[in-house]
Amino acid sequence: MKKRFLTLLLTLLAVLTLTVPAWAEQTPDDLLIYDTESLLTEEEWWELEMTANRISWQYNCAVYIVTIYDYEEYGDSVYEAAANIYNAQDFGIGQNRDGILLLMSMWDRSYALYVRNGGFAEKAVGKYAQTLLEDSFLDQFGENDWQGGFASYLATCEDFMARAEAGHPVKKPLMKVLPLALVIGCAVALAVCMALKLKMKSVRQGAEADTYVTADGLNLTERYDRYTHTTETRRKISKDDDSDSHSGGGGSGRSGHF
Protein backbone atom coordinates (compact mmCIF):
# COMPACT_ATOMS: atom_id res chain seq x y z
CA MET A 1 0.00 0.00 0.00
CA LYS A 2 2.82 2.35 0.89
CA LYS A 3 4.58 1.55 -2.39
CA ARG A 4 1.40 2.21 -4.35
CA PHE A 5 0.86 5.54 -2.61
CA LEU A 6 4.43 6.61 -3.41
CA THR A 7 3.97 5.68 -7.07
CA LEU A 8 0.78 7.73 -7.31
CA LEU A 9 2.46 10.69 -5.64
CA LEU A 10 5.40 10.62 -8.05
CA THR A 11 3.06 10.30 -11.03
CA LEU A 12 1.07 13.31 -9.86
CA LEU A 13 4.25 15.32 -9.49
CA ALA A 14 5.31 14.42 -13.03
CA VAL A 15 1.91 15.39 -14.48
CA LEU A 16 1.96 18.73 -12.72
CA THR A 17 5.45 19.42 -13.98
CA LEU A 18 4.52 18.67 -17.56
CA THR A 19 1.28 20.63 -17.62
CA VAL A 20 1.70 23.71 -15.42
CA PRO A 21 2.99 26.59 -17.61
CA ALA A 22 3.97 28.77 -14.64
CA TRP A 23 6.98 26.59 -13.88
CA ALA A 24 8.88 29.56 -12.52
CA GLU A 25 6.55 29.71 -9.51
CA GLN A 26 7.98 26.42 -8.24
CA THR A 27 10.93 26.56 -5.87
CA PRO A 28 14.29 25.63 -7.44
CA ASP A 29 14.90 22.88 -4.89
CA ASP A 30 11.87 20.93 -6.18
CA LEU A 31 13.08 19.86 -9.61
CA LEU A 32 16.00 19.96 -11.99
CA ILE A 33 14.16 19.32 -15.26
CA TYR A 34 11.36 21.70 -16.28
CA ASP A 35 9.81 20.37 -19.49
CA THR A 36 7.13 22.99 -20.11
CA GLU A 37 6.96 22.09 -23.81
CA SER A 38 6.09 18.43 -23.08
CA LEU A 39 8.92 17.00 -25.14
CA LEU A 40 9.19 13.98 -22.82
CA THR A 41 6.81 11.29 -21.69
CA GLU A 42 6.23 10.94 -17.95
CA GLU A 43 8.52 7.92 -17.81
CA GLU A 44 11.29 9.68 -19.74
CA TRP A 45 11.01 12.78 -17.55
CA TRP A 46 11.14 10.78 -14.33
CA GLU A 47 14.20 8.79 -15.43
CA LEU A 48 16.09 11.94 -16.44
CA GLU A 49 15.02 13.76 -13.27
CA MET A 50 16.42 10.98 -11.10
CA THR A 51 19.69 10.97 -13.09
CA ALA A 52 20.04 14.75 -12.79
CA ASN A 53 19.31 14.57 -9.06
CA ARG A 54 21.95 11.90 -8.49
CA ILE A 55 24.63 13.81 -10.43
CA SER A 56 23.79 17.14 -8.81
CA TRP A 57 24.13 15.96 -5.22
CA GLN A 58 27.06 13.67 -5.87
CA TYR A 59 29.16 16.62 -7.02
CA ASN A 60 27.21 19.45 -5.30
CA CYS A 61 26.72 21.06 -8.70
CA ALA A 62 23.18 21.22 -10.10
CA VAL A 63 22.48 20.18 -13.69
CA TYR A 64 19.30 21.72 -15.08
CA ILE A 65 17.22 21.33 -18.22
CA VAL A 66 14.52 23.88 -19.08
CA THR A 67 12.36 23.86 -22.19
CA ILE A 68 10.35 26.97 -23.10
CA TYR A 69 8.45 28.16 -26.15
CA ASP A 70 10.09 31.55 -26.81
CA TYR A 71 13.27 32.85 -25.18
CA GLU A 72 12.25 36.46 -25.93
CA GLU A 73 9.92 36.31 -22.93
CA TYR A 74 13.02 36.14 -20.73
CA GLY A 75 15.78 38.04 -22.56
CA ASP A 76 17.03 39.66 -25.76
CA SER A 77 19.02 36.52 -26.67
CA VAL A 78 18.68 32.87 -25.82
CA TYR A 79 21.86 33.02 -23.72
CA GLU A 80 20.60 36.08 -21.83
CA ALA A 81 17.33 34.25 -21.24
CA ALA A 82 19.23 31.30 -19.78
CA ALA A 83 21.23 33.57 -17.48
CA ASN A 84 18.11 35.46 -16.40
CA ILE A 85 16.18 32.27 -15.64
CA TYR A 86 19.08 30.80 -13.67
CA ASN A 87 19.54 33.93 -11.57
CA ALA A 88 15.88 34.89 -11.17
CA GLN A 89 14.91 31.42 -9.95
CA ASP A 90 17.90 31.19 -7.61
CA PHE A 91 19.11 27.98 -9.26
CA GLY A 92 22.25 26.23 -8.06
CA ILE A 93 23.68 24.48 -5.03
CA GLY A 94 25.60 26.10 -2.17
CA GLN A 95 26.58 29.67 -1.48
CA ASN A 96 28.02 30.09 -4.97
CA ARG A 97 24.86 28.58 -6.51
CA ASP A 98 26.96 26.12 -8.49
CA GLY A 99 25.29 24.64 -11.52
CA ILE A 100 24.82 24.21 -15.26
CA LEU A 101 21.69 24.97 -17.27
CA LEU A 102 20.64 23.77 -20.71
CA LEU A 103 17.83 25.99 -22.05
CA MET A 104 15.84 25.11 -25.17
CA SER A 105 13.59 27.58 -27.01
CA MET A 106 11.32 25.57 -29.28
CA TRP A 107 9.86 28.46 -31.28
CA ASP A 108 13.10 29.04 -33.20
CA ARG A 109 14.86 25.79 -32.24
CA SER A 110 17.60 27.60 -30.33
CA TYR A 111 19.49 26.55 -27.23
CA ALA A 112 21.89 27.99 -24.66
CA LEU A 113 24.32 26.55 -22.15
CA TYR A 114 24.84 28.57 -18.96
CA VAL A 115 27.70 27.59 -16.62
CA ARG A 116 27.87 29.39 -13.29
CA ASN A 117 31.21 31.13 -12.65
CA GLY A 118 33.39 30.99 -9.56
CA GLY A 119 32.96 27.39 -8.49
CA PHE A 120 33.12 23.74 -9.41
CA ALA A 121 30.89 24.16 -12.47
CA GLU A 122 33.35 26.57 -14.09
CA LYS A 123 36.24 24.22 -13.28
CA ALA A 124 34.48 21.16 -14.67
CA VAL A 125 32.94 22.77 -17.76
CA GLY A 126 35.32 25.46 -19.00
CA LYS A 127 35.30 27.15 -22.39
CA TYR A 128 36.73 24.18 -24.30
CA ALA A 129 34.63 21.65 -22.37
CA GLN A 130 31.53 23.66 -23.29
CA THR A 131 32.16 23.00 -26.98
CA LEU A 132 32.38 19.25 -26.28
CA LEU A 133 29.24 19.35 -24.12
CA GLU A 134 27.46 21.14 -26.96
CA ASP A 135 28.54 18.47 -29.44
CA SER A 136 27.18 15.71 -27.19
CA PHE A 137 23.52 16.57 -27.79
CA LEU A 138 23.22 18.66 -30.98
CA ASP A 139 22.96 15.76 -33.44
CA GLN A 140 20.19 14.13 -31.42
CA PHE A 141 18.27 17.38 -31.07
CA GLY A 142 18.58 17.86 -34.83
CA GLU A 143 16.70 14.57 -35.23
CA ASN A 144 14.12 15.51 -32.55
CA ASP A 145 15.48 12.85 -30.21
CA TRP A 146 14.85 14.87 -27.05
CA GLN A 147 15.26 12.09 -24.51
CA GLY A 148 18.48 10.90 -26.13
CA GLY A 149 19.88 14.42 -26.31
CA PHE A 150 19.06 15.17 -22.67
CA ALA A 151 20.56 11.86 -21.57
CA SER A 152 23.78 12.62 -23.48
CA TYR A 153 23.92 16.07 -21.91
CA LEU A 154 23.61 14.62 -18.39
CA ALA A 155 26.12 11.84 -19.07
CA THR A 156 28.67 14.30 -20.43
CA CYS A 157 28.19 16.63 -17.46
CA GLU A 158 28.78 13.70 -15.12
CA ASP A 159 31.93 12.66 -16.99
CA PHE A 160 33.37 16.20 -16.89
CA MET A 161 32.57 16.56 -13.19
CA ALA A 162 34.22 13.24 -12.38
CA ARG A 163 37.37 14.32 -14.21
CA ALA A 164 37.43 17.69 -12.44
CA GLU A 165 36.95 16.08 -9.04
CA ALA A 166 39.88 13.77 -9.78
CA GLY A 167 42.02 16.81 -10.55
CA HIS A 168 42.02 16.37 -14.32
CA PRO A 169 39.45 18.80 -15.77
CA VAL A 170 38.84 18.72 -19.51
CA LYS A 171 41.19 21.09 -21.31
CA LYS A 172 42.12 21.69 -24.91
CA PRO A 173 44.82 19.21 -25.99
CA LEU A 174 48.31 20.68 -26.38
CA MET A 175 48.56 19.41 -29.97
CA LYS A 176 45.58 21.61 -30.87
CA VAL A 177 47.07 24.69 -29.19
CA LEU A 178 50.70 24.28 -30.36
CA PRO A 179 50.13 24.66 -34.14
CA LEU A 180 48.25 27.92 -33.62
CA ALA A 181 50.97 29.23 -31.32
CA LEU A 182 53.62 28.33 -33.92
CA VAL A 183 51.71 30.07 -36.70
CA ILE A 184 51.32 33.22 -34.62
CA GLY A 185 55.00 33.16 -33.62
CA CYS A 186 56.15 32.71 -37.23
CA ALA A 187 53.85 35.49 -38.41
CA VAL A 188 55.23 37.90 -35.81
CA ALA A 189 58.83 36.95 -36.65
CA LEU A 190 58.18 37.41 -40.38
CA ALA A 191 56.62 40.82 -39.81
CA VAL A 192 59.64 41.96 -37.78
CA CYS A 193 62.06 40.71 -40.44
CA MET A 194 60.15 42.46 -43.21
CA ALA A 195 60.11 45.71 -41.25
CA LEU A 196 63.89 45.54 -40.72
CA LYS A 197 64.49 44.71 -44.36
CA LEU A 198 62.52 47.74 -45.53
CA LYS A 199 64.74 49.98 -43.39
CA MET A 200 67.98 48.58 -44.88
CA LYS A 201 69.66 50.23 -47.90
CA SER A 202 70.54 48.08 -50.85
CA VAL A 203 74.36 47.65 -50.97
CA ARG A 204 76.23 45.74 -53.66
CA GLN A 205 79.47 45.98 -55.62
CA GLY A 206 79.08 47.69 -58.99
CA ALA A 207 80.50 46.06 -62.11
CA GLU A 208 80.93 49.37 -63.97
CA ALA A 209 82.70 52.54 -62.86
CA ASP A 210 79.67 54.77 -63.54
CA THR A 211 77.75 52.85 -60.89
CA TYR A 212 79.49 54.94 -58.32
CA VAL A 213 78.61 58.30 -59.86
CA THR A 214 76.50 60.41 -57.51
CA ALA A 215 73.05 61.68 -58.43
CA ASP A 216 74.42 65.19 -58.83
CA GLY A 217 76.63 64.00 -61.65
CA LEU A 218 73.82 62.42 -63.64
CA ASN A 219 71.74 64.07 -66.33
CA LEU A 220 68.78 61.79 -67.01
CA THR A 221 67.33 62.47 -70.44
CA GLU A 222 64.96 59.47 -70.63
CA ARG A 223 62.70 57.78 -68.10
CA TYR A 224 60.44 54.78 -68.43
CA ASP A 225 58.59 52.17 -66.34
CA ARG A 226 58.91 48.48 -67.06
CA TYR A 227 56.14 46.01 -65.99
CA THR A 228 57.62 42.94 -64.38
CA HIS A 229 54.89 40.95 -62.57
CA THR A 230 51.58 41.01 -60.68
CA THR A 231 51.20 39.84 -57.10
CA GLU A 232 47.86 38.27 -56.16
CA THR A 233 46.89 37.69 -52.52
CA ARG A 234 44.14 35.22 -51.57
CA ARG A 235 42.45 34.77 -48.18
CA LYS A 236 40.44 31.75 -47.11
CA ILE A 237 36.98 32.57 -45.77
CA SER A 238 35.95 30.27 -42.94
CA LYS A 239 32.37 29.11 -42.48
CA ASP A 240 30.58 29.89 -39.21
CA ASP A 241 29.43 26.90 -37.17
CA ASP A 242 26.21 28.65 -36.08
CA SER A 243 27.22 28.71 -32.43
CA ASP A 244 28.56 31.49 -30.25
CA SER A 245 30.47 31.74 -27.00
CA HIS A 246 29.14 34.07 -24.31
CA SER A 247 29.97 35.43 -20.89
CA GLY A 248 27.93 37.54 -18.50
CA GLY A 249 25.20 37.24 -15.92
CA GLY A 250 27.59 35.58 -13.51
CA GLY A 251 28.48 32.80 -15.89
CA SER A 252 29.59 31.77 -19.34
CA GLY A 253 28.31 29.46 -22.04
CA ARG A 254 27.38 28.86 -25.63
CA SER A 255 24.29 29.21 -27.80
CA GLY A 256 23.10 28.27 -31.26
CA HIS A 257 20.41 26.36 -33.12
CA PHE A 258 19.57 22.69 -33.56
What domains are defined for the chain? Answer: 2-171+247-257 (3.10.310.50)
Q: What percent of the chain has pLDDT over 90?
A: 59
How many whole angstroms separate alpha carbon 155 and alpha carbon 54? 11
Q: What b/e sequence results for 49-86 when a residue is b if at least 16 CB atoms lie within 10 Å of its CB, and e otherwise?
A: bebbeebbeebbbbbbbbbbeebeebbebbbbbbbbbb
**pLDDT score of 226 more than 60:** no
The predicted pLDDT at position 19 comes to 41
**pLDDT score of 169 more than 60:** yes
Residue 173 banded pLDDT, cuts 50, 70, 90? confident
Of 156-165, 202-211, 244-253, the one with minimum mean pLDDT is 202-211
**pLDDT score of 41 more than 90:** yes
How many whole angstroms separate alpha carbon 170 and alpha carbon 158? 12
pTM across the whole model = 0.67
The predicted pLDDT at position 122 comes to 97
Q: What is the pLDDT of residues 131-153, one digit of tens each?
A: 999 999 999 999 999 999 999 99
How many whole angstroms separate alpha carbon 209 and alpha carbon 213? 8
Residue 40 contacts residue 55 (beta carbons within 8 Å): no
Q: What percent of the chain has pLDDT over 70?
A: 62
Q: Is the dihedral of CA 151, 157, 160, 165 positive or negative?
A: negative
The predicted pLDDT at position 243 comes to 83
How many whole angstroms separate alpha carbon 78 and alpha carbon 112? 6
Q: Which residue has the higher pLDDT, 73 or 172?
A: 73
**pLDDT score of 53 more than 80:** yes
Residues 6 or more apart whose CB falls under 8 angstroms from that of 37 comprise 67, 68, 69, 104, 106
**pLDDT score of 179 more than 50:** no
